[in-house]
Structure 1
C-alpha cells in the first residue's frame, strides 16, 4: 500500500484542503505483507471524520492502513472542518465539495480509481456517519454501499442533543433555523422518504453504535424506519461508547461487510 498526504485547492470552498489517501500498490516484502491486486478500476472508500477530527484522524487513531492492506481498496480521507457535510448558511459549501468536487478531483489525480457505483463507498463516524448516510441517500446513483459508525443520523429529531454540544449560533450557522431541519435536504429521514417516493435504488446501508453511546437511540430509530420501509440494511450494536476504542474495532467489521472481492 502507498500512503499519500495531499493538499488540493477547492474551487468550491475557495481554499486549500488537506487529504490523506491510501492506495493499493504491488509490493513484495521479505518482512511484512506482500500486496497483490488490480491497479485499475480500484474500489474506493471515502472515509469521513467526526467533530473535532480532520483528514489525519483515522490514520492516527486506528490501524486503517493495515486493515485495508490486502483488500485492494483505495481510501480517501478529506478534511471538512466542522461543516457537517452541509452547504452552510455562512456560504461554505462543504456538501457540494464532498459530494461533487472531491470525487472529481480524486478521479483526476488518481485515474486508477473506479467509476462504478457498485465499487464506490462512503463511511464515517459520528458527524461523518451522518455525512456518509447523507451521501448514500442524496446521491444514491454514486454509492453502492454506505456505513455509519455511531452516526448522528437523527439530528433533526433531537435538537436538544445538538444544543447540549454547541450553542444555537453554531448550529444555525450550518443548517439555518433548527426548527426547519426536519423535512429538509439535511434530514436523512426526509432523504430516505424521497428515495422511496421516487422509487430509486437505495444503497446498501450499515449502521452500528455502541451500547453505551448517547446516539444509540438515534440509530435504533433509523433502523426501525429502514425496517418499516422494507429497506435491506444491517444494524449492529456492541459494547462501547462514543470513542476510538469502538471505532477502531468496528471499522474492521465495516470492511468485512463491504462488497469487496476478498
Structure 2
C-alpha cells in the first residue's frame, strides 16, 4: 500500500491517491497487471477504502483463495469534509473539473507510472455511494475504457424534490447536487439511442444495494431502465443499509466480479 500525490494542472491543486500493489509486483519486474479504479463516497477520501473497509486484507485473502487474480487497485481523492470547504464529486462543475482531471491527467499518470496492462479488457471501475454514481456514469460515458463496472449503494440520481435549496452561490453541496442531477445515470439510459445501447452492452455491469439503503429506489430505477433497453447486467439487493459493514462485505463480490472478467 502506498499513498502519494499528483499535481493537477486541471484542478490547480495537489491530489492524494492510494494504491495497492500486488505481492508479486517487486518480484516480477517485467509483469503488467490489470487495474481496478476504486472510488470513495461523499465526505470520505482515498484512504477510507483501506483504513475502514480493509481492501488490502480483502484482496490478499481473495488472491490466496484463488477467487481473484492479482491486480493493482487505485483510489483517487475526490472529496473530504464538504462542510469544511472541501470539494466533492466526480463530475465537472464550476470550480472543480474532476472528470476532466480523472481522464486527462489521473488515469494516464497512473498507467504510465505503474506497470498496468492499459486496455479496456484489463481495466475496471467500482465505487460506493457518491463514488458508485461516479463509477456508473464514467462507465456510461466511456464504455471504451472499462471492462467491468461495479456500483455499491450508488448515488444514481437525485430527484428534484429531494434536493435541498441552495443557501448561497458557492454552496458546495448545492453545486454537487446539481452535478449529480445533470449527470443522472438513470436518464442516461432512458435517453439512450440504439448506438449508445450497443456501446453500453460491451461492459460487465453489476449493481449492489442494501434493502434498507436510502438510495435503493434510485438503483431500482436504473435496473428497470437497463432491463427496458436490454442492457445485460447483474443487480443484487442484499440485507443491509448505507454502512461500512455493507461495503466491506460487497468487496467480496466486487473483486471476484472484476477479476473473472479481466482479459475477456
Give the corresponding residue for 1:198: 195
Q: TM-score, normalised by structure 1?
A: 0.84
Partners of 1:37 and 1:72 within 8 A in 2: no
Q: For 1:111-147, what per-residue CA distance to the aligned partner results, in whole angstroms no more than 9, with x for missing partners?
A: x112110111110000000000011001111011111
Give the corresponding residue for 2:129: 126
Partners of 2:163 and 2:177 within 8 A in 1: no
Please show how residues 35-46 of structure 1 align to structure 2 within 5 Å. Answer: 40-46=31-37
Partners of 1:22 and 1:76 within 8 A in 2: yes
Q: How far off its partner does 1:172 sit?
A: 4.0
SS across alignment from 2:93: coil
**Structure 1 pair 196–144 and aligned structure 2 pair: CA distance change class (3 A):** farther
**Structure 1 pair 198–124 and aligned structure 2 pair: CA distance change class (3 A):** same
Q: How far off its partner does 1:175 sit?
A: 6.0
Q: For 1:52-102, what per-residue CA distance to the aligned partner results, in whole angstroms no more than 9, with x for missing partners?
A: 11010000111211222223110011101243211112x211111123321
Q: 1:92 aligns with which of 64, 81, 96?
A: 96
Give the corresponding residue for 1:32: none
- For residues 232 and 28 of structure 2, the distance between their equivalents in structure 1, rounded to whole angstroms, comes to 30
- For residues 62 and 242 of structure 1, the distance between their equivalents in structure 2, rounded to whole angstroms, comes to 13
User: RMSD of the alignment, in Å?
Assistant: 2.5
Give the corresponding residue for 1:154: 157
**Structure 1 pair 72–123 and aligned structure 2 pair: CA distance change class (3 A):** same
| Residue ranges of structure 2 left out of the alignment (5+ in a row) | 64-68, 80-86
- For residues 37 and 135 of structure 1, the distance between their equivalents in structure 2, rounded to whole angstroms, comes to 31
Q: For 1:166-211, what per-residue CA distance to the aligned partner results, in whole angstroms no more than 9, with x for missing partners?
A: 86843443465x8xx75x4x12134335654424422211101011
Partners of 2:189 and 2:225 within 8 A in 1: no
Partners of 2:147 and 2:262 within 8 A in 1: no
- For residues 161 and 191 of structure 2, the distance between their equivalents in structure 1, rounded to whole angstroms, comes to 26
Q: TM-score, normalised by structure 2?
A: 0.83
- For residues 229 and 55 of structure 1, the distance between their equivalents in structure 2, rounded to whole angstroms, comes to 34
2:106 aligned with 1:102, yes or no? yes
- For residues 173 and 160 of structure 2, the distance between their equivalents in structure 1, rounded to whole angstroms, comes to 10
2:167 aligned with 1:173, yes or no? no
- For residues 39 and 159 of structure 1, the distance between their equivalents in structure 2, rounded to whole angstroms, comes to 51
Q: How far off its partner does 1:224 sit?
A: 0.8
- For residues 94 and 51 of structure 1, the distance between their equivalents in structure 2, rounded to whole angstroms, comes to 14
2:9 aligned with 1:11, yes or no? yes
Matched residues, number: 242
